[in-house]
Amino acid sequence: MTIKNQIKKSFLVSLWFMFLTFPILVIQVNTVENVIKWRWLNMIGVGIGSFFLSILWRYMLEKRPEKGKQTKKYQLFFLNNILHEKKIFFPVIILLSLFVLCFPYIFSMYQTNIMISALIYVMMGLGLNIVIGLAGLLDLGYVAFFAVGAYSYALLNYHYGLIFWIALPLGGILALIFGVILGYPVLRLRGDYLAIVTLGFGEIIRLVLENWNDFSFGPSGISNIPKPCFLGIDLSLQGTTKYLFYIIVGMVALTIFVTNRLQNSRIGRAWIALKDDEIACQAMGINKGKTKLRAFGLGAMWAGMGGVIFAAKTTFINPASFTIWESVIILCTVVLGGMGSITGVVLGALLLILLPEYLRAFSEFRMIIFGAVLVLMMVFRPGGIIKNVRRIYKFDPILEKNSVKNEVNS
Amino acid sequence: MLKLKNIQTFYGNIQVLKDINMEVKQGEIITLIGANGAGKSTILMTISGIVPPRKGDILFQGNPIQNINPDKIVALGISQVPEGRRIFPYLTVMENLDMGTFLRNDVFEIKKDMDYVFQLFPILSERRNQPGGTLSGGEQQMLAISRAIMARPKLLLLDEPSLGLAPIITTQIFNIIKKINRENNTTIFLVEQNASLALKVADRGYVMETGEIIMTDTGDNLFNNKDVKKAYLGI
Ligand SMILES: Nc1ncnc2c1ncn2[C@@H]1O[C@H](COP(=O)(O)OP(=O)(O)O)[C@@H](O)[C@H]1O
Ligand SMILES: [Mg+2]
């Protein structure tokens, strides 16, 4: 497209925006004095602003690398390279772990608390990453398993005085069982249908918790859930926060370890293969249903354990903590970070949870910014912040020279 | 070894296979030829259990398999190389081969089989760490065949291995198919559009038209048959 054409289009866009925002930004009716104030300055602002944004948008679209030709460019993306260079990888990991270990001593308790919440999301993002990123099953009711975990700790503690350390694996296992029970009938659906059914399931769990007073204490929730105890010693408030921080750090590390192992195992590869071609998988003797069910159950298990930690952290839970929005946010962390990439998901979750905390000033616009960022991401970096390495073709230069024809099927 | 008795298969309400009867004997290469849309691929899908038949029996080594899940059928020793290759584009060559051994756990034997496959197709060995999607069409077909024999099948179903390949590569692949049949005593069920080549390598052949088997004979006889020549060999 020529520059003249671009400017013309941007001009039309700005006209359209001025027209659209006219009623809300220009006309102001003062109902007390019954006068109308015309704020023409706003209109000029909208016009100029949208004009330049439109130009910028077009410019970026032009610059965006062509599909299929982008492999080289993405390979140069520094984070991927860093993570594959052993010399850089280990020092970075050591520094990072030192920083994490000192975190509660460097920063205030407030910061530590925020970090704990963020890490819970990291853990769940990684769990959902198994389901969506690896197995390609769009699960929109993930929060249901989070709720199962949280409520299993809260209720088991309330009725039987179960301690945190027993509830943690138990909550995971219960969530896994729920996942399998739900997954069994549902996993024969694909794509959109699966998304809708899981969405419904998430809401059902929340509604049951809200209305089944005898069982879950309804909307008033359950309070006084004990924080984890350390060798039977009651720690101070500050002490428990630090302790909880290390627990969740440990859990995140475990999650990363397990997902990494899964990704490089036969079952992990089967998930990736199943995402691409079900018929070929069946011809290889991969049981479609069983393999998907495993991904679904494993993902649910991490959500369940996340739920237990969440209940221990807040010491109070009610159904309002488990709305569809939580599912959406976890989904966003996975999509934004880069489906299937562990580093990407960790980074995505941290960004998505920490930024709103520290940008309290913009909290009203949170959802708008969320939406805008997602749209921008999908246009300019459809693979997420860190593209899954597997999705990048690595050519051995020598092989490439010999290769007659490199077909890139994407 | 494999017997199809009065097989009828449907896609929804559309009947694609009407009363198919076939037999494959241990150790032979048989071929099934027919026009596009005759239902050749559907027969293979039915044998593999991916599209189960609505009526009829499939006997494999004397046991009925028509109501068994696809993974169990692979476990019994029937592997398929589906039409259009269908390799996994995001997995490397090695990982693709590993998927073929999904139901096996004998690590050392797997290693041996992998060496065997690389000996059959040395080019795959060169490409072992390259994602399957970056291979050329011929290499992908070689990978698809290798992936299937990694399961150590007793019966190998091949669906149009010559599809979209240059004649030289097709010949090469057919030679390897014969070699696999000879060296491992693997029974081969070959579906082809390239009738002349298929009838030359096959011991026996079946000719199919719109969901029915219309003719069966030895490969040579079919090759010299007047009607077959006219309809499928273009002579
Ligand atoms: N998944 C499917 N759903 C519905 N109809 C199908 C499907 N696959 C194949 N068919 C139909 O079945 C018939 C036979 O197809 P196929 O077995 O692929 O033929 P061939 O392999 O001999 O070319 C065709 O008419 C085709 O349209
Ligand atoms: Mg076909």
Q: What is the pLDDT of residues B104-121, one digit of tens each?
A: 988 889 999 999 999 999
Q: What distance in Å separates the CA atoms of residue A45 and residue A51, rounded to the nearest whole number?
A: 10
Count of Cβ atoms closer than 10 Å to residue A273 Cβ: 27
Tell me, what's the pLDDT at B158?
95
Q: Whose CA is nearest to atom 4 of ligand 1?
A: B11
Contact A258, A276 (CB under 8 A): no
Q: What is the dihedral of CA A359, A360, A363, A368, to 10 degrees?
A: 0
Q: Where are the domains of chain B?
A: 2-77+153-233, 86-152
Higher pLDDT residue, A89 or B91? B91
A397, A359 contact by CB (below 8 A): no
Which amino acid residue places its CA nearest to atom 14 of ligand 1? B39
Ligand 1 contact, B42 CB (< 6 A): yes
**Chain A partners within 8 Å of B80 (Cβ):** 283
Q: Do B134 and A406 touch (CB under 8 A)?
A: yes
Ligand nearest to the CA of residue B39, numbered in listed order:
1
Number of the ligand closest to the Cα of B34: 1
From the CA of B195, how many Å to the nearest CA of chain A?
25
Give the tokens for residue A264.
């490089």
- Minimal Cα distance from A285: which residue of B? B71
Q: Which amino acid is at A123?
A: M
* pLDDT tens per residue, range B133-159: 899 999 999 999 999 999 999 999 999
Instruction: Please return the burial class of A265, using the count of CB atoms within 10 Å of its CB with bins 0-12, 13-18 and 19+.
Output: exposed
Asked if A409's CB is within 8 angstroms of B89's CB, the reply is: yes
| B86/A284 touch (CB, cutoff 8 Å), yes or no | no
Q: How far apart are CA B174 and CA B197, in angstroms?
A: 8
What tokens appear for B145 in the block? 């065949």
Ligand nearest to the CA of B159: 2
Cβ of B90 and A391 within 8 Å?
A: yes
Structure-token pair, residue B15: 């009947």
Chain B residues with beta carbon closer than 8 angstroms to that of A286: 71, 99, 102
A-chain residues near B47 (CB < 8 A): none
- The whole-number pLDDT of residue A130 equals 92
Ligand 1: residue whose CA is nearest its atom 25: B37
Mapping DSSP to helix (H, G, I), strand (E, B) and coil, where does residue A408 land?
Answer: coil
pLDDT tens for the 410 residues of chain A, in order = 578 888 888 889 888 988 888 888 888 888 888 888 888 888 888 889 988 888 888 888 877 665 544 444 444 455 555 566 667 778 888 888 888 888 888 888 888 999 999 999 999 999 999 999 888 899 999 999 999 999 999 999 999 988 899 999 999 999 999 999 989 888 888 778 888 999 999 999 999 999 998 888 888 889 888 888 766 666 677 788 888 999 999 999 999 999 989 988 889 999 989 988 889 999 999 999 999 999 999 999 999 999 999 999 999 999 998 998 889 889 988 988 888 888 889 988 998 888 887 777 777 777 787 788 878 877 877 777 776 665 444 444 444 444 433 433 33
CA-nearest residue for atom 5, ligand 1, is: B11
The residue whose C-alpha atom lies closest to atom 27 belonging to ligand 1 is B37
Which of B70, B90, B100 lies nearest to residue A390, judging by beta carbons? B90
Q: Closest to B103 (Cβ–Cβ): which among A285, A390, A410?
A: A285
CA B101 to centroid of ligand 2, rounded, Å: 25
Average pLDDT over residues B82-103: 91
In order, the DSSP letters of B24-86 are E-TT-EEEEEE-TTSSHHHHHHHHHTSS--SEEEEEETTEE-TTS-HHHHHHHTEEEE-TT--
Distance of CA B42 to the CA centre of its chain: 12
- What does the pLDDT read at residue A38? 84
CATH level 2 (architecture), domain B2-77+153-233: 3-Layer(aba) Sandwich (3.40)
Of A273, A287, A395, the CB nearest to B71: A287
Q: Which residue has the tokens 């309070």?
A: A223
What pLDDT score was predicted for residue A239?
82
Residues of B with CB under 8 A from a CB of A: 45, 48-50, 69-71, 73-75, 79-82, 86-91, 95, 98-100, 102-103, 126-127, 129-131, 133-137, 147-148, 151
Q: Which site among B68, B86, B99 would you substitute to test the A interface, given the most A Cβ atoms closer than 10 Å to its Cβ?
A: B99
Cβ-defined contact of A279 to B82 (cutoff 8 Å): yes
**Nearest C-alpha in B relative to A290:** B71
List for chain A the helix, strand, coil content (%; round to 5): 75, 5, 20
Query: Per-residue pLDDT averaged across B45-68, rounded?
Result: 94
In this structure, what DSSP letter does residue A225 have?
A: P
B228–chain A nearest CA distance, Å: 31
Nearest of A23, A126, A114 to residue A340 by alpha carbon: A126
> Of the candidates A152, A131, A93, A111, which has an alpha carbon nearest to the alpha carbon of residue A309?
A152
| Whole-number pLDDT of residue A395 | 43
Give the SS3 label for residue A188: coil
**Which residues are close to ligand 2, an ion, with C-beta < 5 A?**
B 41, 83
The pLDDT value recorded for residue A106 is 86
Q: Decide: B161 in ligand 1 pocket, CB within 6 A.
A: no
ipTM greater than 0.95: no
A chain contacts of residue B172, beta-carbon cutoff 8 Å:
none
Q: What phi, psi does B98 have (nearest 5°)?
A: -60, -35
Report the C-alpha gap between A117 and A114 in whole angstroms.
Answer: 5
Q: Is the CB of B11 under 6 A from ligand 1?
A: yes
Which phi and psi (to 5°) does residue A271 adopt?
-60, -45
**B194 C-alpha to ligand 2 centroid (Å):** 12
How many Cα neighbours within 13 Å face the side chain of B125? 11
Average pLDDT over residues B8-29: 94
Angstrom distance (rounded) from CA B150 to CA B73: 15
B89, B90, B102 ranked by CB distance to A285: nearest? B102
Q: How far apart are CA A63 and CA A43, in angstroms?
A: 30
What number of other Cβ atoms are within 10 A of residue B149's Cβ? 21
Q: Give the ligand at the shortest distance from the Cα of B83.
A: 2
Question: What is the identity of the amino acid at B143?
Answer: L
Centre of ligand 1 from the C-alpha of residue A203, in Å:
40
Ligand 1 atom showing the smallest separation from residue B11 Cα: 4
Q: How far is the CA of B70 from the centre of ligand 2 (A)?
A: 19
Nearest CA-CA partner of A409 in A67, A56, A46: A67
Q: Would you state the pLDDT for residue A102?
A: 86
The residues pairing with B4 across neighbouring beta strands, listed in sequence order, are B22, B58
| Chain A contact residues (CB < 8 Å to B) | 266, 269-270, 272-273, 276-277, 279-288, 390-391, 393-396, 399, 402-410
